[in-house]
Amino acid sequence: MSLFLLLIIVAIVLGLIGAVASGLSWLLAIGCVVFVADLAYGVWRLRHRPRPVR
């Protein structure tokens, strides 16, 4: 869970820096890619949980 939150924070920071600084729009693109990858990782983790043993 901490990796998920860390990647969300990194994506937000990269997106903000890329949106504010002129000439660094590539950081905004990298932030978007990291965000989408993080969402895919979160969905994958939710679907592949180990089943509780009865």
Q: What separation in angstroms does the CA of 11 have from each of 16, 21, 28, 50, 53?
A: 9, 15, 9, 28, 36
pLDDT at 52 over 80: no
Which sequence spans correspond to the domains of the chain?
2-46
Q: Residue 54: is its pLDDT beyond 80?
A: no
Q: Which amino acid, residue 28?
A: L
Instruction: Work out the average pLDDT over 5-30.
Output: 89
Query: What distance separates the 2 farthest-apart alpha carbons in the chain?
Result: 57
Q: Does residue 2 register a pLDDT over 80?
A: yes
25-48 pLDDT, tens per residue?
A: 888 899 899 999 999 998 998 888
Smallest CA-to-CA distance from 11 within 33, 26, 43, 42 is with 33
Q: What does pTM read for this prediction? A: 0.78
The pLDDT assigned to 48 comes to 83
C-alpha distances in Å from residue 35, one per residue of 22, 32, 40, 51, 54: 21, 5, 9, 28, 36
